[in-house]
Structure formats: C-alpha cells, structure tokens
C-alpha cells in the first residue's frame, strides 16, 4: 500500500518526530505549571546567616544584611526568595510569575521552564516551515479564499515564534549572569543587591553559572 511505501522511504519519520515533540511540549507545560516552584514552607525556615553559608554568597554579601520575615506569609525568607501575591507563597530563587503557566518560575522548575521554551521553539519553527511550504502566492481573490486559513496560521506561528525566541534568549542571558528576572528588574529595591559592593554578587562566570543552573 501507499502507507507501507512511505514508511519504507522514511517519509513517516518526520511527522512522527513532530508529533512526539508536540506531546513532549504539552507534557512539559503541565509539569512546569503543576510542580512546586520552590515554595518556602514554615517548617523549612532558615536560620539567620544559614543561606550565607553557600559558597557563591559568603565573600560577596555584606555581613549586616539580615534575612527578612515576609510581611504576607510571615516565613523568614531565604536569600533571593520573594513573595508572589498571585500564588500567595514565598518562592526560593524567585524569577517571575508566568501567566502562561499560572505558576511561579523559581528554584525548582526554572530549568524545566527553559527546556519547555526550547522544545516549544522547535515545534513553532517546524510548524512555521510546514505552513510556509504549503503557500504559493497568487494575486487573486480565489487564491486568498483558498489559502486564508493557512496564511493566518503562518502569521500566528510567526508571532508566537518571535515571543518564545525573545523569552528564551533573555532567560539564557540572565542565567549566564546568574541573576533572575526579578533581580534584574528590581535591583535598586533589593537590599542584598543594593548594599553589595558588586553589581551582581552571584556572578561566577558564564560557564560556572550555566553549570550550577542546569547541573
């Protein structure tokens, strides 16, 4: 049959890989959106100065910086944690609250969030290529009527691709500097950054920053 011939020529491999990537993207979405991003629980409160025992913090953060107690959930916040008013929790190494996921991006799910964006970008680029390859341009009303759905699909894919690409690039840049979106946007309001002698006291070089984040 035609299906068997296509299988023998390997023509079914690409659609299969595409479907698997889409399924992987959906699974990653639910994984990142449903998992604990690093909520600080009352029973896990750190003692003052305990967070400063981490190697990347000791020589860089002034000794007079005190760990503060959250004014909303009343837990003592670890270094780099922030209270999310949407989730009503303090989140360790808080990056941002993502409206796409309806969840915070923090210490535990940030690496998976980057993987999700990467897989999503591949799916969008592949889908955009398929949509573009199906277009042939003619200046006529009949052509527009027959291809309007494909043209709109391509434009939507193009817009989403730009958004995901910019988001992924910006996050990889911040990760390479060992900073978060919240720290980058609110540097002047964060005590441990405002009183530090260094602009970014957590930066240990691109390679070590990436290694610590992903590994």
Contact 167, 131 (CB under 8 A): no
Closest CA to 29 of 106, 93, 101, 126: 101
User: Active-site positions?
Assistant: 98
State the pLDDT at residue 63. 53
> How far, rounded to the nearest angstrom, does the alpha carbon of residue 155 sit from its chain's CA centroid?
24
Q: What is the pLDDT along the chain (215 residues), one digit of tens a residue?
A: 555 655 556 667 888 899 999 999 999 999 999 999 999 988 665 544 444 434 344 444 555 556 678 888 888 888 899 999 999 999 999 999 999 899 999 999 999 999 999 999 999 999 988 887 766 666 666 766 777 787 888 899 999 999 999 999 999 999 999 999 999 999 888 888 887 778 888 999 999 999 999 98
Contact 126, 21 (CB under 8 A): yes
Number of other CB atoms surrounding residue 153 within 10 Å: 16
d(CA 3, CA 96): 47
- pTM comes to 0.82
What's the chain's Rg over C-alpha atoms? 23
Structure tokens at 82: 């922030």
Secondary structure E strands in the chain:
82-84, 89-91, 96-98, 103-105
Eight-state DSSP code of residue 39: B
Angle at 29 between CA 187 and CA 178, to 5 degrees: 25
Structure tokens at 7: 């299988």
């Amino acid at each position: 049959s035609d299906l068997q011939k296509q299988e023998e020529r390997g023509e079914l491999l690409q659609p299969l890989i595409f479907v698997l990537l889409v399924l992987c993207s959906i699974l990653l979405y639910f994984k990142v959106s449903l998992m604990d991003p690093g909520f600080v629980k009352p029973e896990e409160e750190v003692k003052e100065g305990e967070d400063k025992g981490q190697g990347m913090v000791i020589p860089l953060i002034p000794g007079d910086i005190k760990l503060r107690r959250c004014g909303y959930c009343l837990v003592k916040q670890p270094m780099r944690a922030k209270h999310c008013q949407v989730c009503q929790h303090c989140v360790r190494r808080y990056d941002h609250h993502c409206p796409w996921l309806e969840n915070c991006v923090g210490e535990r799910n940030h690496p998976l969030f980057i993987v999700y964006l990467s897989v999503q970008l591949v799916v969008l680029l592949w889908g955009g290529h398929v949509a573009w390859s199906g277009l042939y341009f003619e200046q006529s009303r009949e052509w527009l009527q027959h291809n309007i759905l494909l043209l709109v699909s391509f434009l939507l894919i193009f817009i989403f691709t730009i958004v995901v690409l910019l988001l992924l690039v910006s996050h990889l840049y911040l990760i390479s500097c060992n900073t978060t979106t919240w720290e980058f946007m609110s540097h002047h309001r964060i005590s441990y950054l405002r009183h530090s002698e260094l602009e970014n006291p957590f930066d240990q070089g691109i390679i070590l920053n990436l290694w610590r984040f992903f590994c």
